[in-house]
């Protein structure tokens, strides 16, 4: 059991996600409510190393819950994998009186959090990524907003695809994970959904599907392609050449990372941010806040990082059976 914390630092790290501000706000407000001091750290671990650290008050987080992006800003800080750099970062925390830290980010950020915990900084991770690719949790901050943003865009592209009797490949984010593709694909009734975890790289299967559907009378065809598979433009050319169906590609890109967070992202992020502070106040460290099987909970960071996540079989099945 660690000693009582007095000053809680908060940072956002890795790719930004809508709802990170709601989580930051909850950390600040819950910590102040519990009589703790709060220090914000700009630009993730890069800002920590640059000592870009400042006191935070309740009013500093006013009007943030509904804002996309991250007011604390974020960064990828490659040197943070270096054990000497991690030790130095822990010393910087101590120098600034930060005895506890909330890290809002993904798996990579949690590895940094684990290192800081090992150097005596009580650290809690809060899952923030649009990719939903954190194994210990069924929810990550930003996913709900991102899939709704992508879904609306896909619905619009579907209108023009249908009007022109086209095949359209829509590439959504997810360099290593297909959750955005799977959810948007099901939500939009896509004819094919290509997931990095499942794709067999046999384009002929897609071509056959387009041809079969045409024979059945389907006049247009939507393919949701995850960023991790990529090559949407060249894939479109090959599909057009093989099927004779006019084919276009649209890459949705970074719009999926921005925008006003949904109600779910605001509320879940608020719960998770507050829980992180409550865990610290209970003397806990080296934990990740999660949402699993319908409940908010927490896991040891190392155990959380060792967990594996798989595309749910039944969702994968219906993504094919319902179209
Ligand atoms: P995410 O947190 O969304 O997974 P990244 O993988 O880019 O995003 O990680 C964010 C940051 O976390 C990195 O820029 C780096 O500062 C830190 N980080 C990533 N991997 C490690 C690691 N193995 N050890 C320590 N810090 C890490
Ligand atoms: O935030 C997650 C994500 O969108 C991934 O899908 C993608 O791999 C990555 O971020 C790309 O982010 P960046 O270009 O900022 O490194």
Task: Indicate whether 128 and 273 sit together in one domain.
Answer: yes
Tokens for 234, please give them. Answer: 């060249």
Tokens for 28, please give them. Answer: 């600040």
Q: Is residue 203 part of a domain?
A: yes
Does residue 1 have a pLDDT over 90? no
pTM of this prediction exceeds 0.85: yes
Task: Indicate whether 112 and 220 sit together in one domain.
Answer: no
Average model confidence (pLDDT) for the chain? 97
> Looking at residues 109-136, what average pLDDT do you find?
97
Task: Indicate whether 164 and 295 sit together in one domain.
Answer: no
Banded model confidence at residue 243, pLDDT cuts 50, 70, 90: very high
Looking at residue 28, its pLDDT comes to 98
Task: Indicate whether 249 and 265 sit together in one domain.
Answer: no
Note the pLDDT tens digit of each residue in 178-233. 999 999 999 999 999 999 999 999 999 999 999 999 999 998 999 999 999 999 99
- Ligand 2 centre from 57 Cα, in Å? 31
Note the pLDDT tens digit of each residue in 289-317. 999 999 999 999 999 999 999 999 999 99
Q: Is residue 111 part of a domain?
A: yes
Ligand that comes closest to the CA of residue 119 = 1
Task: Indicate whether 104 and 215 sit together in one domain.
Answer: no
Task: Indicate whether 20 and 130 sit together in one domain.
Answer: yes
Q: Could you tell me which residues come within 8 angstroms of residue 286 by beta carbon, excluding any fewer than 6 positions away?
A: 113, 114, 117, 118, 122, 123, 300, 301, 302
Task: Identify the DSSP state of 195.
Answer: -
Q: Is residue 102 part of a domain?
A: yes
Banded model confidence at residue 286, pLDDT cuts 50, 70, 90: very high
Q: Is residue 316 part of a domain?
A: no
Question: Of 110, 138, 139, 227, which is closest to residue 177 (Cα–Cα)?
Answer: 227
* Nearest alpha carbon, ligand 1 atom 15: 77
Does residue 86 have a pLDDT over 90? yes
- Ligand 1 centre from 316 Cα, in Å? 29
Ligand that comes closest to the CA of residue 109 = 1
Active-site residue, 131 included = yes
Looking at residue 175, its pLDDT comes to 94
- Ligand 2 centre from 253 Cα, in Å? 9
* Rg over CA atoms, the chain: 22
DSSP 97-163: T--EEEEEE-HHHHHHHHHHHHTT-EEEEEEB-TT---TT-S--BTHHHHHHHHHHHHHHHHHHHHH
Domain count for the chain: 2
Catalytic residue among 99, 107, 131, 192: 131
Task: Indicate whether 152 and 187 sit together in one domain.
Answer: yes
Looking at residue 203, its pLDDT comes to 95
Note the pLDDT tens digit of each residue in 73-83. 999 999 999 99
Task: Indicate whether 196 and 90 sit together in one domain.
Answer: no
Interatomic CA distance for residues 216 and 205, integer angstroms:
16
Pocket test for ligand 2, best of 128, 175, 224 (most atoms within 8 A of CB): 175
Q: Is residue 216 part of a domain?
A: yes
* Nearest alpha carbon, ligand 1 atom 18: 108
Looking at residue 93, its pLDDT comes to 98
Banded model confidence at residue 2, pLDDT cuts 50, 70, 90: low
Task: Indicate whether 133 and 167 sit together in one domain.
Answer: no
Range of the domain at 24: 7-142+261-306
Pocket test for ligand 1, best of 16, 50, 80 (most atoms within 8 A of CB): 80
CATH for 240 = 3.40.50.460
Q: Which atom of ligand 2 is nearest to the CA of 14?
A: 1
Q: Is residue 65 part of a domain?
A: yes
- Ligand 2 centre from 78 Cα, in Å? 15
Percent above pLDDT 70 for the chain? 99
Does residue 3 have a pLDDT over 90? no
Task: Indicate whether 73 and 160 sit together in one domain.
Answer: no
Task: Indicate whether 226 and 207 sit together in one domain.
Answer: yes
Q: Is residue 118 part of a domain?
A: yes
> Looking at residues 57-73, what average pLDDT do you find?
97
Q: Is residue 321 part of a domain?
A: no
Interatomic CA distance for residues 100 and 5, integer angstroms:
6
> Looking at residues 227-246, what average pLDDT do you find?
97
Tokens for 244, please give them. Answer: 């004779």
Question: Of 22, 24, 274, which is closest to residue 9 (Cα–Cα)?
Answer: 24
Looking at residue 30, its pLDDT comes to 98
CATH for 113 = 3.40.50.450
Does residue 242 have a pLDDT over 80? yes
Ligand that comes closest to the CA of residue 114 = 1
Task: Indicate whether 123 and 76 sit together in one domain.
Answer: yes
Interatomic CA distance for residues 250 and 171, integer angstroms:
6
Contact 198, 316 (CB under 8 A): yes
> Looking at residues 269-290, what average pLDDT do you find?
98
Strand order in the sheet with 122-127: 53-55, 37-41, 7-12, 100-105, 122-127, 287-292, 295-300
- Residues framing ligand 2 (Cβ under 6 A): 15, 129-131, 173-175, 227, 257
> Looking at residues 5-28, what average pLDDT do you find?
98
- Ligand 2 centre from 313 Cα, in Å? 25
């Amino acid at each position: 059991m660690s000693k009582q914390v007095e000053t809680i630092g908060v940072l956002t790290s890795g790719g930004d996600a809508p709802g990170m501000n709601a989580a930051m706000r909850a950390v600040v407000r819950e910590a102040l409510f519990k009589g703790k001091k709060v220090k914000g750290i700009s630009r993730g671990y890069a800002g920590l190393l640059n000592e870009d650290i400042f006191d935070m008050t309740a009013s500093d987080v006013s009007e943030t819950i509904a804002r996309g992006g991250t007011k604390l800003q974020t960064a990828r800080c490659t040197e943070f994998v270096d054990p000497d750099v991690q030790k130095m970062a822990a010393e910087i925390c101590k120098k600034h009186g930060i005895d506890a830290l909330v890290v809002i980010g993904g798996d990579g950020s949690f590895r940094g959090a684990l290192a800081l915990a090992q150097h005596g900084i009580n650290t809690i991770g809060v899952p923030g990524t649009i990719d939903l690719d954190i194994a210990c949790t069924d929810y990550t901050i930003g996913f709900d907003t991102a899939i709704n943003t992508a879904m609306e865009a896909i619905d619009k592209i579907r209108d023009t695809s249908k009007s022109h009797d086209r095949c359209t490949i829509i590439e959504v984010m997810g360099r290593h994970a297909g959750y955005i593709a799977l959810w948007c694909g099901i939500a939009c009734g896509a004819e094919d959904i290509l997931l990095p975890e499942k794709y067999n790289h046999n384009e002929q299967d897609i071509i056959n599907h387009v041809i079969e559907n045409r024979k059945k009378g389907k006049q247009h065809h939507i393919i949701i392609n995850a960023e991790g598979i990529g090559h949407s433009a060249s894939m479109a050319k090959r599909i057009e050449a093989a099927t004779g169906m006019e084919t276009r590609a649209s890459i949705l890109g970074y719009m999926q990372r921005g925008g006003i967070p949904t109600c779910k992202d605001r509320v879940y992020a608020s719960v998770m941010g507050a829980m992180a502070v409550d865990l610290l106040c209970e003397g806990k460290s080296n934990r990740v806040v999660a949402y699993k099987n319908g409940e908010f909970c927490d896991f040891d960071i190392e155990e959380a990082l060792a967990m594996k996540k798989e595309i749910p079989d039944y969702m994968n099945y219906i993504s094919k059976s319902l179209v």
